[in-house]
Amino acid sequence: MSPSVFALVDCNNFYASCEKLFRPDLADKPVVVLSNNDGCIIARSKEAKKLGIKMGLPVFQVRDLLQQHQIVAFSSNYALYADMSQRVMSTLENLAPRVEVYSIDEAFLDLTGLAYCEGLTEFGQHVRRTVQKDIGITVCVGIAPSKTLAKLANHAAKTWAKTGGVVDLTGKERQRKLLALLPVNEVWGIGGKLTKRLEQLGITTALQLADAAPDYIRQHFSVVVERTVRELNGESCIALEDVAPTKKQIISSRAFGERISDKQQMREAISEYISRACKKLRQEQQQAKYLTVFLRTSPFSDKDAPYSASKSCELESPSSDTRVFLASAMRLLDSLWLNGYRYAKAGVMLADFYDPGVHQPGLFDEPIVQKESDQKLMQLMDTLNSKHGKTLWFASQGTTQQWGMKRELLSPAYTTNWKELPLVK
DNA sequence: TCTGGGGTCCTAGGACCC
DNA sequence: TCTGGGGTCCTAGGACCC
């Protein structure tokens, strides 16, 4: 068997690039994309990065900077990004036999065996050119014998322009040279907390982590970090998953555009989240048995009294019927709700999934018969809503949704709505 | 005044069983 | 007077990712 070779393909400044694609007038201008409710900076074009706009900063803290440099800000437009992502991914699927879509802007490719056919760097360049030409999005490619090293190779390709956007890290010598240059927190799987603890042991560079004894790391940390050490040494421990595993939970939660202090409004919000979560559940063709509802005040405010709580319940049998979850969620909300707080965020979580029809009821439980008409009703609702936009919903979701998300800088739905198709004049 | 959303995996510790 | 030990299951919380 030939040794594994992975490529990590990662889109540059993905959300910002998507916005620019439809606004050629902004080609060389600094652009940022904001989180839901226009709260934080979540993507920056390279011009914006150069101006010192940091990732994750609250918008109100950089408002002056945005204005001063005439940085163009967009509300996040996930419909657009998801659509562009799909186009990039299907292009990649035409270029490699096995592809794992790792996130909205990244994919791992399996290049095992390819090493003997053609130069890996040349292949990387081919990927870059093709995605650029077909979709208009710039990507960088990192190639290595393990996913963790491929991540680092990609980081190098992004950081140093002279690499031409492609780094082949299959050679041991180049691996060690790069690892020595990178701080340990650049390694995939090593976050803030682990970085601190590693530093206490005198491990500050990626190379020092690679050279640590796996047993020693296992003792002081966990099997996860041990695996990272092995991966850094070129031993592939994390396989390519080209078939997406079924989900284990579905979350729908959102910070409110305006604080909620009124219970009726909170009922609307929870109803809305339940409805979204159940729709996702049906799309996954799953049923769930476990439901959690949570709500909280803002963790940043020092004026408001803090309150954060969650409660869960188990259904008698798995379901994907919005009405069943709505009823339980309202009961949970009743037991969570306290008057007198300014709630900033709430959400729901579905878990404990079953394929329809395989759940084993308890010996003394009434056999549960799922009525066909109930499933048809849900199906009808999903079909109507996906065809004609949101036309059918539950009264409890409310009609005005005053608490709804703020998106004041939203770009048009260029690719997913005929009415908003860009015009060439 | 204003600070995102959606996931996964692992571990520790308690409950319970024999 | 002396009061075990090992296994499993579950959950909460922590850490990480994009």
Tell me the per-residue pLDDT of A144-192, one tens digit each, with 9 for 90 and over. 999 999 999 999 999 999 999 999 999 999 999 999 999 999 999 999 9
CATH 3.30.1490.100, chain A: domain bounds = 249-397
Q: Over 70: is that where the pLDDT of A1 sits?
A: no
How far is the C-alpha of A240 from the C-alpha of A359, rounded, in Å?
A: 30
The answer to which of A19-23, A365-369, A407-411 has the lowest mean pLDDT is A365-369
- Whether any strand C atom is under 7 angstroms from the Cβ of A186: the reply reads no
| Nearby residues of A368 by Cβ (< 8 Å), 6 or more positions away | A316, A317, A361
Higher pLDDT, A179 or A362: A179
Q: What pLDDT, on a 0 to 100 scale, did the predictor assign at position A423?
A: 74
Q: Which residue is nearest to nucleotide C14 (CA to C1')?
A: A193
Query: What pLDDT digit, counting tens, does each position of A52-88 carry?
Result: 999 999 999 999 999 999 999 999 999 999 999 999 9
CA A219 to C1' C3, whole Å: 34
The answer to which of A111-120, A221-230, A324-333, A403-412 has the lowest mean pLDDT is A111-120
Q: What pLDDT, on a 0 to 100 scale, did the predictor assign at position A301?
A: 83
- Whether any strand B atom is under 7 angstroms from the Cβ of A228: the reply reads no
Prediction pTM value: 0.93
CA A405 to C1' C5, whole Å: 56
Q: What percent of chain A has pLDDT over 70?
A: 96
- Whether any strand B atom is under 7 angstroms from the Cβ of A5: the reply reads no
Higher pLDDT, A219 or A419: A219
Q: What is A249-397's CATH number?
A: 3.30.1490.100
Query: What pLDDT digit, counting tens, does each position of A239-249 carry?
Result: 999 998 899 99
How far is the C-alpha of A307 from the C-alpha of A244, rounded, in Å?
A: 37
- Whether any strand C atom is under 7 angstroms from the Cβ of A105: the reply reads yes
CA A218 to C1' B11, whole Å: 13
Higher pLDDT, A261 or A365: A261
Cβ atoms of A381 and A392 within 8 Å: the answer is yes
Computed over every residue of chain A, the mean pLDDT equals 91
The answer to which of A113-117, A147-151, A304-308, A359-363 has the lowest mean pLDDT is A359-363
**Mean pLDDT computed over A355-363:** 70
Residue A115's pLDDT band (cuts 50, 70, 90): low
- What's the distance, CA A133 to chain centroid? 26
Q: Over 70: is that where the pLDDT of A385 sits?
A: yes
Higher pLDDT, A210 or A357: A210
Q: Over 60: is that where the pLDDT of A236 sits?
A: yes
**Mean pLDDT computed over A78-100:** 96
How far is the C-alpha of A144 from the C-alpha of A151, rounded, in Å?
A: 8
- Whether any strand B atom is under 7 angstroms from the Cβ of A406: the reply reads no
CATH 3.30.70.270, chain A: domain bounds = 6-11+96-232
Q: Over 70: is that where the pLDDT of A281 sits?
A: yes
Relative to beta strand A99-103, strand A106-110 is antiparallel
Looking at domain A6-11+96-232, its CATH architecture is 2-Layer Sandwich (3.30)
| Positions on chain C within 7 A of a protein C-beta | 12, 14-18
Nearest nt (C1') to A39 (CA)?
A: B3
Q: What pLDDT, on a 0 to 100 scale, did the predictor assign at position A24?
A: 94
CA A43 to C1' C7, whole Å: 49
